[in-house]
Amino acid sequence: MRPPCNHMEELYKLIGMVMRNAQAIERNLSLIIYFEKILSVFENSDEVPDNVYFDNHDSADGLFEWMSGVPMGEIVKLARKTQSMNKKLISNLERVLKYRNYVAHEIFKSKEFLVGGKLTQRKLTSFVNIARNELEFSANLNDVLLKISDDLIERYDRIT
């Protein structure tokens, strides 16, 4: 017996929202990495020679462009090296990345979703509950990253 359609529709919506959050997290991580790179020349002084500033800014621009075309995992690797990320944030990013990759590459390959699979109401409810939890987790993480990126942008605006 197939589960009611509305539960599948809810799962599809949740998956879409999880993927949206993952993309927002990627974007905010990219901004954090970008602005930390730009601001790195000001670590020892609020004033640097123009050529140093512009060379660093060009390098940051190239890095930002590169990040727009790489998988989320590559951006998480770069984030490990930033000053803004602590072990807990990196662990949270890895959790989001793991679930995002599962949703993007594996969930519908599960035997329950294959033609003739036995997707029970209990199993579908489990998929939905996990997706809800991961959606909330990723939204909360994105709020933290947004605050960090906003703080870096504000610092950048004060210096430049």
Mean pLDDT of the region 36-51: 90
Confidence of residue 116 (pLDDT cuts 50, 70, 90): low
C-alpha closest to that of 149 among 27, 18, 17: 27
Half-sphere exposure of 88 (CA within 13 A, CB side): 3
C-alpha closest to that of 18 among 144, 108, 141: 141
Q: Would you state the structure tokens that stand for residue 62, as one six-digit string?
A: 């190239």
SS3 120: coil
Predicted model pTM: 0.89
Phi/psi of residue 115, each to 5°? -55, 130
**Mean pLDDT over all residues of the chain?**
92
Question: What is the reported pLDDT for 118?
Answer: 78
Confidence of residue 1 (pLDDT cuts 50, 70, 90): very low
Confidence of residue 114 (pLDDT cuts 50, 70, 90): low
Give the per-residue SS3 of 34-82: HHHHHHHHHCCCCCCCHHHHHHHHHHHHHHHHHHCCCCHHHHHHHHCCC
Confidence of residue 38 (pLDDT cuts 50, 70, 90): very high
Pair 136, 92: CB distance under 8 Å: no
